[in-house]
Every structure is written in structure tokens, then in C-alpha cells.
């Protein structure tokens, strides 16, 4: 591809589709911009007028209450009008194609699409279609596509790590769990390597690792205690029961025994290591309650920071078009 489809000719963010290939300067700018947005939630009026009069369409072809809600809150705190479409239960069932749906909503003066889709690449397809038809004033944010990417989750994780640990170039970071099926893991890995993390580890059973994981810059561990030794950051992943095909795992109990994060296993990490989880958590499967509710968990701050990061992304996309 001639240029990064996420950036306009001035190198500014046009769509947010993936953290892969996103320049370090752009990632850093998103994180920097999110900081003042975090303060907006502390005020009497938790709103700023940047997206007043703009229409943001949440196009969820796959269900997700939490991600949809955080995008909705972010857009509303920017004063946008938000329209939620759960298309899993809508016109596609009547036979309408993805791009027909997009064209119809564009005809209703949409300014931004937030897209979640079970197929990898669906947000790209929409972005390309909009540009090919001369509607580059409409922006696309990928809210999770298949196994491919979930860039705002990856970015909010970067914001969280930076909040607690400041300098990425000094960190040991472990990503633990079902990396094979995880778009979150992919978005985290690309962002962490771009931001210069020198020691990135992938901890998982062999059956839940993608074959190209080392090429992405991760060192692979199949043992939790070896992989967690001395790390600053532990990024847990959800065991994606709904994406499991065949028998990749013996049982949830067996998985917890070897790969569930317990206080005992966490003890080999640095004493001030932080624990992240993108939610929703399967307690007693990938994470023990004592850790999930413990002093090292930053799982609820992740949710709060996620709203500020999504506000920053939307505000960076929607401005400067005129």
C-alpha cells in the first residue's frame, strides 16, 4: 500500500484502524492528548463542546456492551450525538451488505463510524469505500475486528502503563493467555514495540500462540513463573471461550492451574508490578480474585482511562477538516 491508510497526506490521523504501523509520534500524541481529557470527568459538567453537532454512529456487528458503552460515553462527553446500531440483530439479517449499510448511514450525515465486526478488515473496507467515494470527511474507528486489531484497547493499555511506569524503554512486559485469538494482544504488541519496550514476553500454552509470535518481537514462555520473573507489567488476556474451536485446552480448571494469575505466581514479578486485564474477566480461569481485587491490579483505572483515550482519538479525528 502506498501510504498508511490511517493517516492523511499531512501525516495526521484520518482513521484509527490498528496500532500496527502507527508512528510513535502519533501514538505519543494520542496519549498526551488523553491527559487533559481525563480531567474533564472530574468537573461539575463532564462535557466539552468539541464534537457539538457531529453524529457518531456506533456500528456494532458483534455484541459488546462494555466497549460500546465506553465509546458512547466518550462521544457524549465530546457533545456529539450518538446513534447506537446493534446490527447483529438488524438489517444485515435482512440481507443488506456492509457497504450498503454504511452508504445509508452516510446519507444521514454521519461524521464518524465506530465499527466492531467479527471479520478482520471490515473497518478497513469501510474506510477505503468512504475514500474511494470522496467522503473523506467521515472517519472510522476500529472498535475490534475479528482476530485482527482493537486499537483503542491497545492505546488505553499504553496510557495505563505510562501513567504508572512513565518510561517504556526501561520496561519488561509480559502478555499472558490466549494470544492466538486475541486482537487485543496484537494491538498491545504493536504499540509496545513501537514505544520501545526492550523486553516483551508472550506467555501461553503452545496451542494458544500464533505461529508468527516471535517475528512480532516477543520472547515466548510456556511457563508462567519463568515468564513473569522480574517483569514490571503483566497484561492478562481473557480466555475467549466463544472463539475456541476444537480442543485447544483440556479444561478451564486445568488452564487456571498452569496459566491463571494467582498471588503466588505474581510474586516472582517485580514487587511494584502492575496487572492489567481488558475485561470482562473470567475469575478463576485466567485470573484469581485475590489478584483481580488486589493492590497491584489497575483494571478499573484502565476503564476510566479508556474513556479519555477514546475522547482523544475522536477529537483528533474530527477536528481540522474545514
Partner 1 sequence: MSLPDAEKLLADLAAQMRPQVTPDTALVGLHTGGVWLAQRLHALLGLTQPAGSLDVSFYRDDYAQRGLSRDTRSSALPFDVEGRHLILVDDVLHTGRTIRAALNELFDYGRPAKVELAVLIDRGGRQLPVAPTYCATRLDLAEGTRVKLAQDGERLALRLLPEQE
Site residues (vs partner 1, CB under 8 A): 12, 29, 32-33, 35-36, 38-40, 43-45, 47-50, 315-316, 319-322
Least distance CB 222 / partner 1 (angstroms): 43
Give yes or no for a cis peptide into 235 (omega within 30° of 0): no
Q: Taking Cα atoms as reference points, which of 59, 303, 278 lies closest to residue 182?
A: 278
Q: Taking Cα atoms as reference points, which of 37, 38, 18 lies closest to residue 194?
A: 18
Least distance CB 38 / partner 1 (angstroms): 8
23 versus 198: smaller Cβ distance to partner 1: 23
36 versus 280: smaller Cβ distance to partner 1: 36
Least distance CB 139 / partner 1 (angstroms): 12
Least distance CB 264 / partner 1 (angstroms): 40
Strand order in the sheet with 219-221: 219-221, 199-203, 172-176, 233-236, 274-276
Least distance CB 36 / partner 1 (angstroms): 4
SS3 category, 105: helix
Helix then strand count (H, E) for the chain reads 11, 9
48 versus 290: smaller Cβ distance to partner 1: 48
Least distance CB 195 / partner 1 (angstroms): 19
115 versus 318: smaller Cβ distance to partner 1: 318
Least distance CB 322 / partner 1 (angstroms): 5
159 versus 255: smaller Cβ distance to partner 1: 159
- Looking from the CA of 174 toward its CB, the CA atoms found within 13 Å total 29
39 versus 95: smaller Cβ distance to partner 1: 39
Q: Taking Cα atoms as reference points, which of 284, 35, 43, 22 lies closest to residue 154?
A: 22
The label of the residue with cell 477529537 reads 315
Q: Taking Cα atoms as reference points, which of 156, 149, 106, 154 lies closest to residue 126?
A: 106
Express the helix, strand and coil content of the chain in percent, nearest 5 each.
40, 15, 40
36 versus 250: smaller Cβ distance to partner 1: 36
CB atoms within 10 A of CB 55: 18
For residue 196, CA distances in Å to 173, 192, 319 come to 11, 6, 29
Least distance CB 25 / partner 1 (angstroms): 10
Tell me how far apart the 2 most distant CA atoms of the chain are, in Å: 57
Residues pairing with 261 in the sheet: 287
33 versus 86: smaller Cβ distance to partner 1: 33
Amino acid at each position: 500500500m502506498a501510504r498508511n491508510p490511517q493517516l492523511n497526506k499531512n501525516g495526521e490521523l484520518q482513521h484509527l484502524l490498528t496500532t500496527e504501523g502507527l508512528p510513535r509520534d502519533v501514538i505519543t500524541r494520542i496519549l498526551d492528548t488523553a491527559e487533559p481529557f481525563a480531567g474533564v470527568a472530574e468537573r461539575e459538567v463532564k462535557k466539552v463542546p468539541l464534537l457539538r453537532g457531529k453524529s457518531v454512529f456506533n456500528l456494532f456487528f458483534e455484541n459488546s456492551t462494555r466497549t460500546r458503552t465506553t465509546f458512547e460515553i466518550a462521544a457524549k462527553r465530546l457533545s456529539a450525538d450518538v446513534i447506537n446500531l446493534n446490527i447483529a440483530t438488524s438489517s444485515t439479517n435482512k440481507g443488506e451488505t456492509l457497504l450498503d449499510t454504511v452508504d445509508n448511514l452516510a446519507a444521514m450525515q454521519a461524521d464518524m463510524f465506530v465499527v466492531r465486526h467479527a471479520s478482520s478488515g471490515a473497518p478497513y473496507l469501510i474506510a477505503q469505500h468512504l475514500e474511494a467515494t470522496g467522503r473523506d470527511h467521515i472517519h472510522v474507528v476500529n472498535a475490534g475486528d475479528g482476530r485482527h486489531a482493537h486499537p483503542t484497547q491497545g492505546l488505553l493499555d499504553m496510557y495505563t502503563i505510562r501513567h504508572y511506569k512513565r518510561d517504556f524503554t526501561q520496561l519488561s512486559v509480559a502478555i499472558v493467555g490466549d494470544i492466538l485469538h486475541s486482537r487485543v494482544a496484537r494491538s498491545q504488541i504493536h504499540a509496545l514495540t513501537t514505544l520501545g519496550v526492550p523486553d516483551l514476553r508472550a506467555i501461553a500454552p503452545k496451542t494458544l500462540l500464533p505461529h508468527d509470535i516471535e517475528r512480532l518481537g516477543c520472547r515466548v514462555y510456556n511457563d508462567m513463573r519463568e515468564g513473569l520473573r522480574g517483569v514490571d507489567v503483566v497484561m492478562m488476556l481473557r480466555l475467549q471461550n466463544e472463539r475456541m474451536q476444537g480442543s485447544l485446552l483440556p479444561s478451564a480448571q486445568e488452564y487456571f492451574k498452569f496459566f491463571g494469575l494467582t498471588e503466588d505466581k505474581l510474586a516472582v514479578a517485580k514487587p511494584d508490578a502492575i496487572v492489567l486485564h481488558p475485561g470482562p474477566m473470567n475469575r478463576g480461569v485466567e485470573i484469581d480474585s485475590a489478584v483481580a481485587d488486589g493492590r497491584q491490579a489497575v483494571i478499573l483505572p484502565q476503564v476510566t482511562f479508556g474513556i479519555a483515550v477514546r475522547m482523544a482519538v475522536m477529537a483528533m479525528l474530527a477536528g481540522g477538516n474545514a
